[in-house]
Amino acid sequence: MPARDAAPSGAPCWIDLFSSDPDRAAEFYGRIFGWNAEQTPAEYGGYVNFTKNGVMIAGMMRNDGSAGQPDAWTTYLSTPDAKATTEAAAAAGGQVHLEPMQVMHLGSMGMVADPGGAAVGLWQPGEHKGYGLVGEAGTPVWHELHTRRYREVLDFYRTVFGWETSTMGDTDDFRYSQMVVDGTGYAGVMDGSAFLPEGVPSTWQVYIGVEDVDAALQLAGELGGTVLEPAEDTPYGRLAKIADPTGAAIKMSSLPA
């Protein structure tokens, strides 16, 4: 079982869902990914943790509409100092959506947007180190940013989060870099200027591993979800994208043989 104690600095470490119907979301993701929804104490504002085999995988908070934001998944990047990272993000051309706040003994969280407009969370670990399983069914297997401002955004993440990057392709058909630590990739950045539809913002994509992508797509439809991108074989596995019953999008990926 691929377990991990903590993510490297700058790497994705947590995901959570902003949902207008948490009960329905809990059923949806529980059925598709095998997650259990666990309510936290009242002082955490109704936050829900999703677990697999007793290990925390993701979180969820209620979208009551007051923020004016649609339901969506958020990727959080690990940082040793959320306040310093927030200040660096603002200085590097980003926007601050949420100033760092302490979450009891668990850690500190914040939210910024990169120069391309993609929102990304910050997590400074305390007792909560992030999701504890990776690379298997029902766990995060990849994180990927689709952006219209590829080079500027890469510079932003290098400057703000200390990324080292490796170029996978640099043509108009495929322009892509990975964030790497000691030769291991943790996240990708794709130039989406040629394929992002008008009005669709730059955004971080979360990939969850599944044993059978086609079966998961069928189940998602039966549970009230929508297929946004049908299953497709790629050099990186069989991939698909769905929206849950309230419209939050998430990707699915087959697992390595």
Q: For residue range 89-103, what is the model confidence (pLDDT) as tens digits?
A: 999 999 999 999 999
pLDDT of residue 200: 86
Tell me if residue 158 falls in helix, strand or coil: helix
Instruction: Name the pTM for this structure.
Output: 0.96
Helices (H), 43-131: 82-91
Using only the alpha carbons of the chain, give its radius of gyration. Answer: 17
Distances (CA, A) of 135 to 223, 231, 252, 257: 25, 19, 12, 12
Among 216, 211, 204, residue whose Cα is nearest residue 240: 216
Beta bridge partners of 62: 19
- 172 or 191: which carries more pLDDT confidence? 191
Lay out the sheet containing 184-191: strands in order across: 164-170, 175-181, 184-191, 140-147, 203-209, 249-253, 237-243, 226-234
Separation of alpha carbons 192 and 201, rounded Å: 10
Phi-psi region of 194 (alpha: psi -120 to 50; beta: other; left: phi over 0): alpha
Residues 11 and 187: beta-carbon distance below 8 Å: yes
Mean pLDDT of 169-198: 95
Query: Could you report the per-residue pLDDT of 115-135, keeping only the tens digit for each?
Result: 999 999 999 999 999 999 999
Residue 1 has pLDDT above 60, yes or no: no
Residue type, 89: A
Mean predicted confidence (pLDDT) in 48-58: 97
Using the predicted structure, report yes or no on whether residue 231 has a pLDDT greater than 80: yes
